Structure 1
Amino acid sequence: MDNMKCPSCGGPMKRNGRAPSGAQRWRCRSCGASATHSNDVAARELAAFVGWLLSRGTQADMPGRGRTFRRRAALFWPMWPMPEVMDEVFRVVYVDGIWIARDCVVLIACSDEHVLSWHLARAETTAAWRSLLSRIAPPDMVVTDGGSGFASAVAAEWPRTRVQRCVFHAFCQVKRHTTSRPKLQAGVELYALAGELLHVETLQQADWWVERFMQWCEFWSDFLEQKSLVEGRMAYTHRRLREARSGLVRLVNAGTLFTYLDPALCAEGPMPATNNRIEGGVNSQLREVLRSHRGLTKLKRVKAVFWWCYLHVECPKTMADTLREMPTDADVDLLRERYGMRAEDASRPEKWGEGLVWEELHHKTRYPFRNE
């Protein structure tokens, strides 16, 4: 039965004798191209490995309690699925970081439909954010939860991109200081003002909110200046309220609270005010993957996040292409060797994300020192 398709034109092929190795040879009925069919077992096993990694399945439910699966999976754990440069321009890009451990975070950028890029770092520093942003074409607006180092990074890499601070995170920042049931009248009023951020829909409402917030700051200024003796030192009595006020003042002064209402940005349609797209569409699913495989080492948890992101880009490569093109731990070690940056322990991802080694996997050239 002729079921082989021509790799050149896609037309049907017919059997055409055998190759010297004994493999069946096929010939295209349309263009005359000749080819042999190969059964890519490695690609099929990689697909099975990734399917398990991103599912809730357990090895205990597999035949032989997963012994065969673990032997085959050992071939794929060293792989690093890396993002490509994204030169398509989007109206909105959402950015956030998901923490794997205290000193290990994966920074992620996505659009309304797909994951765009990701970057492994030790902390949310300016250099780490710049490594992520430099691989993505500057959008019209970027939505962020206000992570440390991001403001400097976006000013350096995307100077013309407008920044929208997620209003829900701004509300939560106030809530952390006042609690949801504040006891002081100043806290009650500030908490109510922060809650109104979630319902601002016009520029007039935004201006009215800023005016009311300034009135609150002026009315309670003397109250917030009160000090008391704490452990032998004079300290502000209402420190938490002052911190909540300072956070909102910085956002108002920076002009990032109501960017989504800018008429120039909204000309082609409404813009988002929150980071819900990446929180619900990416981070929550990644946490579910990590929760389902919570026995993995830190390095393997990082790679699980990488695999999820890699399979949710707009056009992920086939498993066969992934096997051929993606770097491995050996490639990373080669880069360390070449640049003289040896790690004390190759299983410590906190050593990565800094210096030239990891930058080579994230920046301009496409794995120039890959070990063939």
Structure 2
Amino acid sequence: MNQVNCPVCGMKCVKSGKTKAGSQRWLCKNCKTSLTHKINNESKELQIFLDWLFGKESQSTMSGEGRSFRRKTAKFWDIWAMPPKIAETRDVVFLDGIYLSRKACVLICCDEKHVLGWYLCRYEHAGAWIALMKRIAEPRMVVSDGGTGFAKALKKAWPKAKHQRCVFHVFCQVKRYITSRPNTAAGAELYMLVKDLLKIKSKKESQIWVERFINWIKKYQDFLDEMTIDENGKSRPTHERILKAERSLLKLLKEKTLFTYLDENLKNDFSTPSTNNRIEGGINSRLREMLRNHRGLSIERRIKAVYWWCYMHSPEPLPLSEIIKVMPTEQSITSIYQRMNEKNRLEKSLSIWGDAIVWSDLHNVDRTFDGWD
């Protein structure tokens, strides 16, 4: 049994009979304080909650169909597990977003071992990416799938970091445009060309691939320039989808984000990945599995489940007892917003009467001032 210490003087207490309710009474011999000690089981209950959340067990298989479990763990759904601030620079980080509904996306950043940060937004945009990235030290290399607004955010938040577009996502993007079985010779050659992109391992191979791509453009230039007049009398490209695939590749070559993983300065210091399989296979797939195991959660609880998983896989998560004390809850966040709203209402009411008060009128810096006129 845990030792009970006196809350007044901190000395050890000894047993001193029991109360009428049957609880153990404790006595401090030093200051003669009598008290009862209640064991705090919140840490154990939180561990039970996390074991269920990260596992496959259904509440229907629990004793009482999970009623006791829900009663004891309901309070943990009020906690928001917030990300830490990462001050140590990483060699390479991976960024991606996972959509939990049409208007709920969690952006995630990780390295080879841990989740470094996460941010909730309605959709991927530059402001959301910046909010995620500004709490993490700038890495040397970033791998992403090219989400909306990411390039803009990268220039602003991590201007010195090298950007690598995930090669597999590049292949999938071109595949969406021209399909895996193109009906034209140009489409078939482009599909084989972009498929070879996944096999490039050296700088020389990348140069050969670029030459092949340029030769493909020259070979089918007239084919790509063909125009069709639609029902409204307007002309538009005949092979629009192939053109989109071509332009997507040209953009990456222009931005120099297609072969960053072959940079000799980076390769000499650490392993440079060409894909973001680490976050897709190691994090997003496990998050989706967790949500499938607990189908039926509301969107808010789905978000909090992702937060819990990310925090417990962060570099140095706090002990469970500290998490309960430190992490914000629904009530604490609500009180903060209420105080902010009250302050805004007060400032608006004061603005009705002009400046309300001038600080210099009551705090005159002139030492010769004797009094009011």
The answer on whether the counterparts of 1:40 and 1:320 sit within 8 Å (CA) in structure 2 is no
Q: Which amino acid aligns with 1:265?
A: L
Following superposition, the deviation at residue 73 of structure 1 comes to 2.3
Matched with 1:12 is none
Q: Does 2:69 match 1:66?
A: no
Q: How does 1:73-222 map to 2 (within 5 A)?
A: 73-222=73-222
Matched with 1:370 is none
Q: How does 1:1-372 map to 2 (within 5 A)?
A: 17-18=14-15, 22-23=25-26, 39-232=39-232, 233-340=234-341
In 2, Cα distance between the equivalents of 1:229 and 1:70?
Answer: 64
After superposition, the Cα gap between the structure-2 partners of 1:209 and 1:84, relative to the gap in structure 1 and judged at 3 Å, is same
Following superposition, the deviation at residue 23 of structure 1 comes to 4.7
Matched with 2:353 is none
In 2, Cα distance between the equivalents of 1:123 and 1:339?
Answer: 26
In 2, Cα distance between the equivalents of 1:189 and 1:88?
Answer: 45
Q: Structure 2-normalised TM-score?
A: 0.82
Question: Unpaired runs of 5+ in structure 2?
Answer: 6-11, 18-23, 29-35, 343-373
Corresponding residue SS for 1:268: coil
Corresponding residue SS for 2:317: coil
Following superposition, the deviation at residue 227 of structure 1 comes to 1.7
Q: Which amino acid aligns with 1:147?
A: G
Following superposition, the deviation at residue 142 of structure 1 comes to 0.5
The answer on whether the counterparts of 2:90 and 2:139 sit within 8 Å (CA) in structure 1 is yes
Number of positions where the alignment pairs a residue of Structure 1 with one of Structure 2: 324
In 1, Cα distance between the equivalents of 2:190 and 2:260?
Answer: 22
Q: Which amino acid aligns with 1:323?
A: I
Structure 1 residues 48-90: Cα deviation after superposition (integer angstroms, max 9, x where no partner): 1121112111110011111111122221111100011001111
After superposition, the Cα gap between the structure-2 partners of 1:67 and 1:225, relative to the gap in structure 1 and judged at 3 Å, is same
The answer on whether the counterparts of 1:112 and 1:277 sit within 8 Å (CA) in structure 2 is yes
In 1, Cα distance between the equivalents of 2:182 and 2:267?
Answer: 36
After superposition, the Cα gap between the structure-2 partners of 1:37 and 1:247, relative to the gap in structure 1 and judged at 3 Å, is farther
After superposition, the Cα gap between the structure-2 partners of 1:227 and 1:319, relative to the gap in structure 1 and judged at 3 Å, is same
Following superposition, the deviation at residue 293 of structure 1 comes to 1.3
Corresponding residue SS for 1:193: helix
Larger radius of gyration: 2
Q: Structure 1-normalised TM-score?
A: 0.82
Corresponding residue SS for 1:43: helix
Following superposition, the deviation at residue 136 of structure 1 comes to 0.5
Q: Which amino acid aligns with 2:106?
A: V
How many percent of aligned residue pairs carry the same amino acid?
A: 44
Q: Which amino acid aligns with 2:171?
A: F
Q: Which amino acid aligns with 1:179?
A: T
Question: Unpaired runs of 5+ in structure 1?
Answer: 7-14, 26-35, 342-372
After superposition, the Cα gap between the structure-2 partners of 1:294 and 1:230, relative to the gap in structure 1 and judged at 3 Å, is farther
Following superposition, the deviation at residue 132 of structure 1 comes to 0.5
In 2, Cα distance between the equivalents of 1:201 and 1:66?
Answer: 53
Matched with 1:354 is none
